Structure 1
Amino acid sequence: MAVGAIIVLIFISALFSGSETALTAASRARIKQMQKKKSQRADMVGKLLEKPEKLIGAILLGNNLVNILASAIATSFFINLFGAAGVAYATVIMTFVILIFAEVLPKTYALQQPEKLALFVAPLMRSIVFILTPLVLIIRAIVSFFLWIFGVRPPQEMDEDAADAEIRGNIDLQHEEGVMVKNDRDMLGGILDLKQMGIEDVMIHRTNIFALNIALGATEIATQILNNSYTRVPLYRGAPDNFIGILHTKDLLWAINAQKQAEEKDLESLLTPIWYVPETTSLQDQLNNFLKRKSHFALVVDEYGETQGLITLEDILEEIVGDIVDEHDHGLKGMRPQPNGSVNVDGHISVRDLNRAMDWQLPQDDAISVAGLIINEAQIIPNIGQAFNFYGFRFEILRKQANRLTAIRVTKL
């Protein structure tokens, strides 16, 4: 009789232990998908997980009750058989039995199939939680009182930064375990980065803007556009910063096809107004603005209204999907991998782009470009031939124009 009671109690304890592990290890994302498919058991699991303190409290209470009861019955049984020595026998045997059959075995199984087991035990656990709720509330009140005495306060709800960090951690974990390939990891990370990055992090600097003087005339402008791969070109009059509008190559081709006069006034009629945006705008906001305005192109200005660069819809999309190379592009611009494992990069290439292309972890907080990173760390304007070692990489200056570093060799040490 006693042995049968012990076996039943150990089985119940195993059920509690396995249920605890399954319900806490179950993927909330998968449970949420099952809920969308109208799964009643998934709804039960979801509701149980909404109040984890109540769930864990009920399971622990029930588990401890059956374990203590099983140990008490076993102790009484062995005392009747062996006298006072039965206490030692009961302690050793019950420790082994509870550890193996009521803890390790059910929890190991639950970890292998958490969602399956969670769905199976959900109705039973819901009933147990309901029955034990009064006792659980009393225990929680006592625990909260002692925590308050020791200065421990309940945690606040997860903020946006914490949620972002958890998502990134899951993405990196899936990549490290081989479930997610590098491109997928980079795309998901790129989406999360949009809120944290500003336009100035990805814009084309004003020194690299392809812009043309309207005084060149339609024929020369068309020739220069054909020699490049841009579909939208800012035009200026006089000084390079005196932009007057954006010329779409399709509009220019229509004008040439209609045999219009190649005069400035005719070209000017083809221009669309320039859209100026502040450099402090986040990429997420700018992406939304592009979609609202149905526009692909904007010039970036600082707080003084001076042009700092340009931003396009493609620039933002490339932060998510990586470099978009079409039939008119020539591969990854500004990066030239070498046979020895090093990479020759143009100074204006962003540290972020280099990290994504080479799967490196160079810091991105203090500088946007590779040249900026070197200057920030070296605290000088380097000369050609100088080399620096930091962050586990070697940076060698290959070319320089005035104070601008135009070509750099980067080698991972």
Structure 2
Amino acid sequence: MTEFWPLLIPTAGIFILLLLSGFFSGSETALTAVSRARMLQLEKDDNDAARRVNKLTEDRESLIGAILLGNNLVNILASTIAASVLLDLFGPAGVAYATLVMTALVLIFSEVLPKTYALSNPDRVALTVAWPILIVVRLFSPIVAAVQVIVRGALRLLGAQVEGPLFSAHDEIRGHIDLHHQEGGVVKDDRDMLGGVLDLRELTVDDVMVHRKNMVMIDAGKPAAEIVAEALASPHTRLPLYEGDAENIVGVLHARDMARALLECGGDLTKLDIGAIKREAWFVPETTELQDQLNAFREKREHFALVVDEYGALMGLVTLEDILEEIVGEIEDEHDITVEGLVADGDHSWTIDGALAIRDINRALDWNLPDEEAVTVAGLVIHEAQTIPEKGQVFRFHGVRFEILEKRRNQIISMRVAKAPD
């Protein structure tokens, strides 16, 4: 019995080192998988452990370096002690026994077991280990800093890029939203709304504006009675006024201002002065980002702007509602004219209006048609076909079949679309 006493201390040392190895492995998994959003919220609630977790995850390179350094130190030390003990017991064969035994012990109890538990409870484990890991990071910081310099130098010599994140914060958030949608945690409507918020900085006014050919405008030179009749027949409350040429916008007529003026003149249209009640037109460049335009609407307390190109030519108009619809989807009220832009044919195909926005069909059908080169579906077909299609022609690209149903001059009026391989 006495011959086993000298083995007790090294065996206990190996056991302790394996526990430390498991601690480092579990801590690494928990601190890399922890939800930074939840930790930030806990920190706002004055949770000191969450504050330490956030401090650690701010510099992931130093965190991982310190944990790996500690993990390798205890693993190598445990393996060395085990080899020494087994060499005394079995001679040269002890090296092989030590390799097999330590590999099994490290794999099961110091890697798989703690990492599995940490993946199942990342937040709880991260909050628990934050304090000791913070001490380890500070203790090993000089060594880790030296290692980082060597690693970065070696990577630069190999031509590898080591600076800056691969994805922006918006891309990371979008990835999380898509992942949760695939897993069933976020329904499609919520995913579309969240994605619409993130898209505001990627879209410009010309992506959502009402094109000039679809604008309702009134000739300011007409008699007041005709202007009032046209304004009342329109579903819109704000109508651009022009003189002579439709490009010559002289103001905007607001239905509320017109109603107030009619009340003041007792309903006598001959006394109604359109020039006195019209509002000044607000022109914005077509390249304005939607986020900036939304902020401008809020600052000016306006809901309506006319869009011009770089030469000052009228391109269309944009409203606050147009921007909000990019987030919440189509908004219809009792005065909206319903346009059948997308009709299901019942055989996994749809008849669509050529002027339908690509983003709208992507949102409605959960497709992924590109919208970098064109805003409308008709524009996408023309861009991809590199020609003006004829009625009856069929094209396949981006996994969708496009059949031209109706064409008027150079404009595609309608087409039938269906999912199909290119």
What is the identity, as a one-letter code, of the residue corresponding to 1:174? H
User: Equivalent residue for 1:178?
Assistant: 184
SS across alignment from 2:253: strand
What is the identity, as a one-letter code, of the residue corresponding to 2:204? G
Between the aligned partners of 1:283 and 1:147, the Cα distance in structure 2 is 40
User: Equivalent residue for 1:336?
Assistant: 343
Structure 1 residues 264 and 71: CA distance shift in structure 2, 3 A:
farther
Which of 403, 406, 409 in structure 2 is aligned with 1:396?
Answer: 403
Preserved CA contact (<8 Å) 2:66 2:141: yes
Which of 188, 194, 200 in structure 1 is aligned with 2:194?
Answer: 188
Preserved CA contact (<8 Å) 1:215 1:264: no
TM-score (norm 1): 0.92
Report the count of equivalent residues: 411
Pairwise CA distance, 1:145: 4.8
Equivalent runs, 1:253-402 vs 2, <5 Å: 253-258=259-264, 259-263=266-270, 266-329=273-336, 333-402=340-409
Between the aligned partners of 1:146 and 1:269, the Cα distance in structure 2 is 74
User: Equivalent residue for 2:414?
Assistant: 407
Preserved CA contact (<8 Å) 1:323 1:332: no
SS across alignment from 1:175: helix
Preserved CA contact (<8 Å) 2:235 2:337: no
Pairwise CA distance, 1:333: 4.8
TM-score (norm 2): 0.90
Equivalent runs, 1:56-205 vs 2, <5 Å: 56-147=64-155, 149-152=157-160, 155-158=162-165, 162-205=168-211
**1:209 aligned to 2:223?**
no
- Alpha-carbon displacement from aligned partner over 1:58-91 (angstroms, at most 9, x marks no partner): 2112211211222122222223332322222221
**1:35 aligned to 2:43?**
yes
Between the aligned partners of 1:57 and 1:164, the Cα distance in structure 2 is 27
SS across alignment from 1:349: coil
Between the aligned partners of 1:137 and 1:346, the Cα distance in structure 2 is 61
Between the aligned partners of 2:102 and 2:117, the Cα distance in structure 1 is 21
Pairwise CA distance, 1:130: 2.3
Stretches of structure 1 that go unaligned for 5 or more consecutive residues are none
Pairwise CA distance, 1:134: 3.3
Pairwise CA distance, 1:260: 4.0
What is the identity, as a one-letter code, of the residue corresponding to 1:68? I
Shifted more, 131-140 versus 294-303: the winner is 131-140
Between the aligned partners of 2:55 and 2:45, the Cα distance in structure 1 is 16
Between the aligned partners of 2:336 and 2:348, the Cα distance in structure 1 is 24
Pairwise CA distance, 1:141: 4.2
Pairwise CA distance, 1:240: 2.8
User: Equivalent residue for 2:238?
Assistant: 232
Preserved CA contact (<8 Å) 1:45 1:118: yes
Identity of aligned residues (%): 50
Between the aligned partners of 1:228 and 1:209, the Cα distance in structure 2 is 11
Aligned-residue CA RMSD in angstroms?
2.2
Pairwise CA distance, 1:392: 1.7
Between the aligned partners of 2:71 and 2:106, the Cα distance in structure 1 is 11
User: Equivalent residue for 2:63?
Assistant: 55
Preserved CA contact (<8 Å) 2:53 2:127: yes
SS across alignment from 2:277: coil
Structure 1 residues 224 and 102: CA distance shift in structure 2, 3 A:
same
Stretches of structure 2 that go unaligned for 5 or more consecutive residues are 1-7
Between the aligned partners of 2:150 and 2:403, the Cα distance in structure 1 is 64
- Alpha-carbon displacement from aligned partner over 1:155-190 (angstroms, at most 9, x marks no partner): 33348x633322222222222222222222222222
